[in-house]
Chains A and B, each alone.
Chain A
């Protein structure tokens, strides 16, 4: 009798804890949705395409920020993905070598690294010598944040390819390069693409690396790779600190856009992962 009671208490306790853990997430989604939706509805398409309204006056749009996020993510991918995939491949193929082992450790450290420090680092090497904030600096900072994730996912993807396929490919008299890139890569592609998408989705919502690198741009869409560029998280950061009521509203609207973009990438990704087993 007592045991049953204890068990029920235990289960209840766990349920409460779980709820407490998950609740904030739902609360965030709820808040952003309820505060941001009216803004979006009021602003319409113009909210997504227009430029920032003057202080205190109307909604305008967050167009430059959206474009900026897209550009930054694209550039960061261009810089970071090839290097990260190669690193992941190397770590998977030569796990015993010094570089292989070092790489694994370093990647794990980099994944936990404070992103604001990454921003500071890029500021030192790019922003200050160039004399201004720029898209390339922001992209580089994002790339540095993205790479460990992509590399680790890539390495995992290659490791998960069953050894028998590796044997079969080598048995055909193929060189190591061909085995890895023409045969195994095809089998690992789901894992690699997943890693890429996760990396990209993650950096699309990063703020700290962009603080000292991208600069932000509210009215100009795209001035050039070496000029400042906007980004949604950056915009939200900027707007919330302003005293103007309309800016706060725009911030909520932008938050909803960011949330929707994030969910749009992550939900299908997570769901499709359940189906795909190599």
Chain B
């Protein structure tokens, strides 16, 4: 079934590119958080790029379903990629917003970057196999949530809107990555899981 495999490969490639782009965006957003605002242009370009990719992936998945009436894994794949693509696009959006905020985050907050980067890598490995994916993602997401809670306690006294939003966005990004992992498990194993 060369025609079907070719299309699936093309969608896969685009999704992995989305992954790389959104990871880069998050990396850059932390730089911006630390004060380096020169990255703003690059992040904006990445955000536009992910928007376009999202549209392309949507079209590819829709026509794939329309033309081939896929079932089983192929169907799960097509449906999931639409939603995963949307999640990556959201991540890039959030990263861009973070970069535009003007605020100072507490030191302990920056540890979240490490966990986020690790989450990205774990998710990437999920495209190959999903064993233990859920456990690792839960662990990492929990760490990020903990940092978020801590940071919020510190910020309670500060009332800096940008800082609060930054913390919120970072926590969101962690959630989105966890959801991507859940969808990958759905594609591979057909199980619907909560990664929480």
* Touching chains A and B, CB distance < 8 Å: no
Instruction: Name A's B-contacting residues (CB within 8 A).
Output: none
Instruction: Name B's A-contacting residues (CB within 8 A).
Output: none
